[in-house]
Amino acid sequence: MAGALGTFYLTGGLAVAALTLAAPQPLGWGVAALAVATGVFLLHAGHRLSRRVFSPVVGVGTALITTTVAIAPTPEAALAAAAIYLFIVIDVVFFFGVRSAAAHTVAALVAATWALSRADVGWGPATALWLVSVGIALVVGRLVRVASHVGTDALTGLANRRRFDELLEEKLVAAQRSGEPLSLALVDLDGFKAVNDAGGHEAGDDLLKRFGAHLHATLPAGATACRFGGDEFGVLVPDLTAAEVIDLVEIHRPDAATAFSCGVAQLRPDDTTGTFFRRADRALYAAKEAGRGRCRRAEDPKPPFRDHRGAA
């Protein structure tokens, strides 16, 4: 949010400076300087600000644009400055809630109508600005909603494989820099095909939903669960060793109807995302070969097995 708003402030300030250079106005230079300085600050230190600060910052941006439009020496300059209002619309629709975004958008367009009238711009351009702004708000809002579901599995609500791969890369780099542990658990549900065969796809989907809800409810803070497809799940757990993840699995194991096999790998300094994933996958395969209903840790040549009844 800070980066986007800072970029808009900086770009808008430079645009005001260009307009003022073409038709000098002392107040125009002041608006341009304030906007550029604010943009630089947001880009440099905006990430430290509270989220609540950004709504007033957007309001100040609307006021600066309105001032620029109102003092424009010609209708053409006023129209050019009014285009900067679109930055406000894009920013609030992307980052703010629906009500807050609507309030900021309406406030910006009302201010634009007033400022354009002060600059002797007719109702036609003002109406066009309203229509374009509403169109941009609808399209950006739709894209935001679509993008928010791109990384989500539609059935379980967990992350999908695409999002999981992105997080795996990010977490692996962060863990290798910090030296903190990072563990990856791969999970297959036992007997899933039998459930599908006996009860149909609805029964299988219900089992997947229940298991996804179980994972979501029992994950520690910072962990991410993913459904790869079918009955295959992955769990990425920062700050826990493989042994701790196995203990966590055993403590929070689901009922017998959703028994599963699990392979867990802990990140090694020389791991890539590929080798890290393959080690967990080999551990899962070993757990399934050993009789299912078990967890196996990739680090051990002959790791202890644990089934979901607590037997070792």
Distance from chain centroid for Cα 116: 37
pTM for the whole thing? 0.55
Per the model's pLDDT, the better-predicted residue between 53 and 252 turns out to be 53
The 10s digit of each residue's pLDDT in 134-176 is 999 999 988 887 776 678 888 888 988 888 888 899 899 889 8
The mean pLDDT value of the chain amounts to 86
Task: Using CA atoms of 39, 40, 41, 42 in order, give the dihedral in degrees to the nearest 10.
Answer: 50
State the average pLDDT over residues 57-70.
94
Spell 95-113 as b/e; 16+ CB within 10 A means b.
bbeeeebeebbebbbebbb
Residue 308 and residue 216: Cα distance in Å, rounded?
19
What percent of the chain has pLDDT above 70?
93
Domains of the chain with bracketed CATH: 2-150 (no CATH), 161-307 (3.30.70.270)
pLDDT at residue 304 in the model: 41
pLDDT at residue 52 in the model: 84
State the average pLDDT over residues 228-250.
88
State the average pLDDT over residues 69-82.
89
pLDDT bracket for residue 310 (50, 70, 90):
very low
Kindly tell me if the per-residue pLDDT of 301 is higher than 80.
no
Residue 145 and residue 101: Cα distance in Å, rounded?
14
